[in-house]
Structure 1
Amino acid sequence: MPTEHVHSSTDRRLRTEEKIISAAADLFLESGYKATTVRGIATRAEVSVGRVMAAGDKDVLLIRCYDRWIAQLQSGTYTLPVRARTGSVASARSQPASSARGRVKPAATSAVQNHLVGIFLPFLEFFAAHEDLSRDYAAALMRVPGKPQVFESLAVDLQEKLSSSLISIGISEAYALASAVALYDSYLGILFRWAASDMSLPEATEALSQSIAFHTQLRRPA
């Protein structure tokens, strides 16, 4: 039947795209953005170069890989690779966030504040573990028109988690929803700052902690 044929073709296309994204993700992590080629992705996925280009160019594929990784981080199904780097992920977990330039401020201390920092920490750790690739990702977001999931479904999901935590400490729903959006925007802004500078993981965590500390003040309509 025609409908069955359409469904079968769609399923094959989706399976092929999944192979392409998986191959691209492996190569981006193994070799980096610049060393990864469309032909290399095609070879790894066992498809033609044309099939890869139908799924997207390198920028689009990198964004789609990050959409996948961010979704996995949000669902807790992504395992951060252990990599030795300056300002390691392990040390960032064990030490309070502070400024490397001498101006130390207290990190968020309440249970809810620490919980909110913990929601964002896997994403900051992923950036730290793959700094060069994440900088290429930030640049790709600027070059590619459209709305990746990080600005749509993934944003909504994370903002729901944030607003729920804010409501749990007595912040009104309207303020909690607005603060959740602001915190998400702060998180994205910090990542873009990081991509354009020599910001460290502790500095990024501290910057986010300061924003969280402000938004977790009890605020209700007068």
Structure 2
Amino acid sequence: MFGEQVQSTRAAQKVRTATRIVEAAAQLFAEHGFQSTTVRQIAAEAGVSVGTVMAVGDKESLLSLVFDQAIADRIPPPPAPPEAGAPAPSAVAYLSHYFDPFLGLFAENDDLARAYFRTLARGKDENAALGALRTLTEDNLTAAMVNAGADETHARLGAQVLFAGYLGELMLLAAGSTDPRQAAARIGRTAAFVAAQEGL
């Protein structure tokens, strides 16, 4: 019993320390940029050792954690299913604007966003959060279309198309070939097309 309490306390402390490190990294990345920030600075800001920072992750991993948390905080839940006898909600607006908050992150600090997208493109193991984001996003988009009356199998395919389109827009943004406004417009057109295929 006592051993379990100690383990639980240690696990909670570890989570608090990791959170402090990610928050320190976010602050320093925003103030000084990704390239100019060092792991030593992050450790000093968080009040921990360099080794403790590295146990959470290297600089690229910390940047991924910063963005993953920012994205998770902005994920819009799908519209609720209609009440009995009520008309189905329109899914088009939800689909069209689902990714707007994520694209907004790019507009807030495009240098950091480009560094994040380059990290994603390298496909490091630490990017498991991208898989979690994909699953959650596809589930949300599918639910929105099903709640609006679409067949679930077709809705799932439409959600996969939308997520793939979003990733493509991120790569174009990282390459400097487009801007968030243009990316949002193209995602909106793709969403309208997907919705039309489902008669939404």
Question: TM-score range with shorter-chain normalisation?
Answer: 0.7 to 0.9
1:157 offset after TM fit, Å?
A: 2.2
Aligned match of 2:74: 73
Aligned match of 1:85: none
**RMSD across aligned C-alpha pairs, in angstroms?**
1.9
1:146 offset after TM fit, Å?
A: 4.2
Aligned match of 1:3: 4
Residue 62 of structure 1 aligns with an amino acid whose one-letter code is L
Is it true that 1:49 corresponds to 2:41 in the alignment? no
1:148 to 118, 123, 128: 128
1:170 offset after TM fit, Å?
A: 2.9
Answer whether contact 2:29 2:37 (CA < 8 A) is retained: yes
Aligned match of 2:39: 38
Is it true that 1:197 corresponds to 2:169 in the alignment? no
Change beyond 3 A, Cα 1:75–1:167 = closer
Distance 1:70 1:142 in 2: 17
Runs of 4 or more above 4 Å deviation? none
Answer whether contact 2:22 2:66 (CA < 8 A) is retained: yes
List aligned pairs for 1:117-156, cutoff 5 A: 117-143=96-122, 144-152=124-132, 154-156=133-135
1:214 offset after TM fit, Å?
A: 1.8
The share of aligned pairs that are identical, in percent, is 33
Count of residue pairs brought into register by the alignment: 185
Change beyond 3 A, Cα 1:112–1:6 = closer
Answer whether contact 1:27 1:36 (CA < 8 A) is retained: yes
Distance 1:141 1:121 in 2: 19
Q: Write 1 or 2 for the structure with the bigger share of helix.
A: 2
Residue 60 of structure 2 aligns with an amino acid whose one-letter code is D
Per the normalisation by structure 1, the TM-score is 0.77
Distance 2:127 2:35 in 1: 23
1:164 offset after TM fit, Å?
A: 2.0
Give per-residue Cα distances to partners, 1:25-48, cap 9 Å, x unaligned: 111122211111111111110111
Distance 2:26 2:108 in 1: 15
Query: SS of the counterpart of 2:73?
Result: helix
Distance 1:44 1:117 in 2: 39
Give per-residue Cα distances to partners, 1:151-189, cap 9 Å, x unaligned: 22x222222221122224432111001111221121111
Distance 1:132 1:198 in 2: 14
Where do 5+ consecutive residues of structure 2 fail to align?
78-89
Residue 102 of structure 2 aligns with an amino acid whose one-letter code is F
